Structure 1
Amino acid sequence: MSASSLVRRLAAAGALAALSVALAAPLAFSPATPALAVEKGVFFPETFTLSNGMQVVVVTNRRVPVVTHMVWYRVGAADEERGVSGIAHFLEHLMFKGTDTVPAGAFSRIVAKNGGRDNAFTSWDYTAYYQNVARDRLELVMKMEADRMSNLRLTDQVVYPERDVIIEERRQRIENEPADRIGEQVNATLYVHHPYGTPVIGWPQEMSTLTREEAERFYKTWYTPNNAILVVAGDVSAEELKPLAEKYYGTIPARAVPERTRVQEPPISAARRVILRDDEVRQPSIRRNWLAPSYRTDKDGHAYPLEVLSEIMSGGPTSRLYRSLVVDQRVATSAYLGYSPSAWDVSSIGAGATPAAGVPMDKLESALEAEIQKVVEKGVTEEEVATAKKRMLAEAAFARDSLTGPAQALGAALATGQTIDDVENWPVRIDAVTADQVNAAARAVLGKTNHVTGLLLPLQDKGS
């Protein structure tokens, strides 16, 4: 795991973007992305709302004549109706299939011809489309993105071959990858009722029956300007962008959007275990996940302390887990504890490790459990907290300089119920965390016994 919450956020956003149209794969933990530190007076975000309800955020960065243009929809895989899993990601693919003015496949070709690059990604809570282009090509991509927001044209001839594409992607990226398969199964076992337990790409038996009509219905239900956020970062100001936003997005009529309602997880008191054995496993591993609050669902004030705890446990070669399991005991080659609080609903926190050569999995599991129990029972020190916060805040300040990072961080935050103030005040809230708060959060979350343990093992390994 990365050292700071900010870096984890930017890394998560970047990883999703890389998967892009090809696949928005399930993450090991719940939808990631903590807050971004944006210093006032440097890259201070400006915001305004169009008459049709579309929120616009601008982060000015004059260092190079380039902009990142992103449209985020407040809809993802967790908003799908039961029985049509994967429809959000499928529609992401289909958004590149053209309108009356931009034929199928032409969108990306036009962006590339003009020296830019584009892509898209889907998570449980949002779907986003982006282009990185020179400043003087901004109007071009705004025009095309606004066009497909309301004028997508789907036919059987483009829809069903693309359905075959996503089915093949699932086969290659998940079904042929044991590490992804165990992650999918652990996630489905952790979220027994909530839709976060359903993979973003969908379950195979449902993907194979997705129809053009279902894709069109999903599009017409959720893809509307009042359910979207436009984020533009780079060599442009809000004053410069507003006329363009009004010209291209402001003319699209708003439509009523369903309320975002999700079922809640039932109380579960039993520990659960998932074991996957496969001939393709070259590196066995263990992971353990607990449900944890997100920023939005954090009633007890545990989210920011859990971020600091994650840094203490997993923030580099001096962190607790690495020092104990890898350096001192030599039972592991890697170890982590990761937490991602940016989700619309309940999130999760997870720990894991890979064994050193010749170390039995039961020995590694005992060592990992001992470190978790140690922090639950004995807690962390004020010195550990102070050191962790210093690293997190330093890295947040450094990451602020990225062009795409602020756009990704702000979009993900706004799409999962946070505000710009929440994003800006992340450093203040992290800096205010105390050791007592970290220890209370550790006891409340890691002290639970309803976790899920996943073991990934070679087929011939009989040791677990």
Structure 2
Amino acid sequence: MNTPRSAMLLFGCLLLPILAIADSTPPTHEFTLNNGLKVVVREDHRAPVVTSQLWFKVGSSDEPPGQSGLSHALEHMLYKGSSKTCAGEASAILDKLGATHNAFTDRDVTTYYQTLQPHQLGVAFELMADMMSTATLRAEDFIPELAVIQQERRLRTDDDPDAIAHERLKRIAHPASSYGAPVIGWMHDLQRLKADDLRHWYQTRYAPGNATLVIVGDVTLDKVKPLAERYFGVLPAKSFAVVTQPLELAEPGERKITLHQAIPAPRLILSFNVPSLASAEDRRSVHALRLLNTLLAGSTSARLPKRLQFTDRLFSAIASDYNAVYRGDSLFTLTAQLNLHRPETLDQAQARIWALLDELKTTPPEATELERARTQLIARQVYDRDAIETQADNLGALESIGLSWRQMEQDTQELSRVTPADIQNAAITYLTRQRLSIAHVHVEKSHE
């Protein structure tokens, strides 16, 4: 079917100003200290604040069997004292300055960040340089902190039916890679972690050459570089364990798990094994998957919500998720909750989703539909620039998976090249039963 010229002109007019904004790269600089620490500085002078993020290339995917949760536990312990601070003192200093600060651990990274006034940046640098090189990691501090982490797992995972379902599904969705273990760790592994395990992890992973320092905000290279040299440049270079890329079987075969949980309505999760930006042989296919994700369920007007939630009312909620920024392979996931007022089973609901996916395999989307998805995706990236923390997140994530931060500046143009045929090919190649993991989550009898 040919797209009306007026519609093409309309979407072109909508997209052009967004493309212009997305292509305007803020001044961004990079340099590497003699000890191997890479520093990326992005200037954003719209507000008198700066965010400092220290990214280590170590996460849950690097942990050996039996020690899941090690990276996250070490993140907690880094605030328990170093050569210059007592337990909790670094946080207290940043709180007194009015800074926003925290840390997080993911599959590939552990990150520490602070957002504060530009003239306070040296304080953040001094605290982080000390913590990354002289953390005490005492056993007497680890025992109570481990209890805190175990309680965090109970609250965020064990007591959350959604979290349990996704955790169990990820385990079967990654039969060949280390991405199957939860970031927070399995409870039985947390119960046997020792302070010595953390010390070894710290000594072999927390090295300047295994980290990236990202600074975004009201600063200049001339202001940041001397501070980085002063506080981080004095740290000695040291060897560190080289990470491997978690790769998955191309076609592991269809896998299924059935759960019964305390939920209000049955839920269906479909996950497909797909590549990421770092693992794909052809990144164009990854950008096609990103746009396919938006096209399927990126908004209330997308295909799945429009037809199965708001028109047919088969589902009360439906969403899709695809994160392309991983060191290894990723998952393309569809999640849906059945409408209690409809009699369909999970098998029938799954068949309805498959029918819509098969439509894309036989008929590519119309140009107007693709342009709408493309505009939505690029617009979100433009809005992300309003937050210096989000800018730093994107820069640091790319650097930490082995790509350059410059990939972010090429992103808009690469998305603009994706065609309807690319979307169709992505659906044919990746949305197959040989790549599929399924979770059927039923309502427990006591909750019906």
User: Normalized against structure 1, the TM-score is what?
Assistant: 0.88
In structure 2, relative to structure 1, the CA distance for the partners of 1:286 and 1:365 (3 Å cut) is same
Hey, what's the Cα distance between the residues in 1 that align with 2:24 and 2:336?
42
Letter in 1 for 2:216: A
Shift of the alpha carbon at 1:136?
A: 1.7
Q: 1:302 aligns to what SS in structure 2?
A: helix
Provide the residue aligned with 2:401 in structure 1: 416
Match of 2:141 in 1: 158
Does 2:396 correspond to 1:430? no
Mean alpha-carbon deviation: is it higher for 396-405 or for 120-129? 396-405
Opposite residue 429 of structure 1, the aligned amino acid is E
2:345 is equivalent to residue 361 of structure 1: yes
Selected match of 1:287 from 257, 266, 269? 269
Report how far residue 254 of structure 1 moved. 1.2
1:350 and 2:333 aligned: yes
Who is 1:29 aligned against? none
Residue 383 (structure 1) shift: 2.1
1:441-460 matched pairs, under 5 angstroms: 441-460=426-445
Confirm or deny: 8 A CA contact 1:52 1:253 kept in the other structure.
yes
Partner of 2:379: 394
Kindly state the Cα deviation for residue 266 of structure 1 after the two structures are TM-superposed: 4.1
Alignment partners' CA distance in 1, 2:21 and 2:187? 41
TM-score with structure 2 length normalisation? 0.91
Q: Does 1:248 align with 2:231?
A: yes
Greater RCO (CA < 8 Å, at least 6 residues apart): 1
The equivalent position to 2:293 in structure 1, one of 310, 327, 330, is 310
Post-superposition CA distance 1:362-417 (Å, at most 9, x none): 33222222212222232322222122212222332222222211101110111012
Query: Map of 1:97-176 to 2, 5 A cutoff?
Result: 97-176=80-159
Q: CA deviation at 1:258?
A: 2.0
Contact 1:74–1:126 (Cα < 8 Å) also in 2: yes
- Which residue number in structure 1 is paired with residue 368 of structure 2? 383
Q: Deviations over 1:162-206 (max 9, x none)?
A: 111111111221111111111100000000131100001111111
Q: How many angstroms does 1:461 deviate by?
A: 8.9
Amino acid in structure 2 at the alignment position of 1:381: E
Per-residue deviation, residues 76-118 of structure 1 (Å, max 9, x unmatched): 1111122211100000000110112110011111101111121
Match of 1:450, as an amino acid? R
Structure whose residues are more often helix by fraction: 2
393-402 vs 36-45, which deviates more? Answer: 36-45
> What pairs up with 1:183-198 in 2 under 5 angstroms?
183-198=166-181
One-letter code aligned to 2:418: V
Letter in 2 for 1:446: L
RMSD, aligned CA: 2.0
Moved more, 309-318 or 64-73: 309-318
Cα distance change on mapping 1:202 and 1:40 into 2, 3 Å: same
- The yes-or-no answer on 1:374 pairing with 2:359 is yes
Q: Specify the SS of the correspondent of 1:69.
A: strand
SS of residue matched to 1:457:
strand
1:179-328 pair list within 5 angstroms: 179-262=162-245, 264-266=247-249, 268-278=251-261, 280-300=262-282, 301-328=284-311
Shift of the 262–425 alpha-carbon distance from structure 1 to 2, 3 Å rule, reads: closer
Label 1:194 to 1:38 Cα distance change in 2 as closer, same or farther (>3 A): farther
Structure 1 residue 235 displacement after superposition:
0.9
Q: Does 1:83 align with 2:66?
A: yes
| Aligned mate of 2:56, from 52, 73, 95 | 73
Give the Å deviation of 1:436: 1.0
Alpha-carbon distance, 1:238 to partner: 1.3
Give, in angstroms, the shift of residue 361 of structure 1. Answer: 3.2
Deviation of 1:42 (Å):
5.4
Distance 1:319 1:365 in 2: 18
**Structure 1 residues 215-251: Cα deviation after superposition (integer angstroms, max 9, x where no partner):** 0000000101111100111111111100000000011
Q: Secondary structure at the match of 1:387?
A: helix
The residue matched to 1:52 in structure 2 has which SS?
A: coil
- What are the superposed Cα offsets for residues 53-97 of structure 1, whole Å, 9 maximum, x if unpaired? 111111111122111111000111111122211100000000110
Q: Which runs of 5+ in 1 are unaligned?
A: 1-35
2:47 aligned residue: 64
Change in Cα spacing, 1:94 to 1:269, as seen in structure 2 (3 Å) is closer
Change (3 A) 1:327 1:266: closer
Aligned to 1:44: 27
Measured in 2, the distance between the counterparts of 1:450 and 1:438 equals: 17
| Secondary structure of the corresponding residue to residue 27 of structure 2 | coil
Percent identity over the alignment?
A: 29
Q: Is the 8 A contact 2:246 2:327 kept in 1?
A: no
Per the alignment, do residues 111 and 304 of structure 1 end up closer, same or farther by CA in structure 2, a change over 3 Å counting?
A: same
Higher Cα radius of gyration: 2
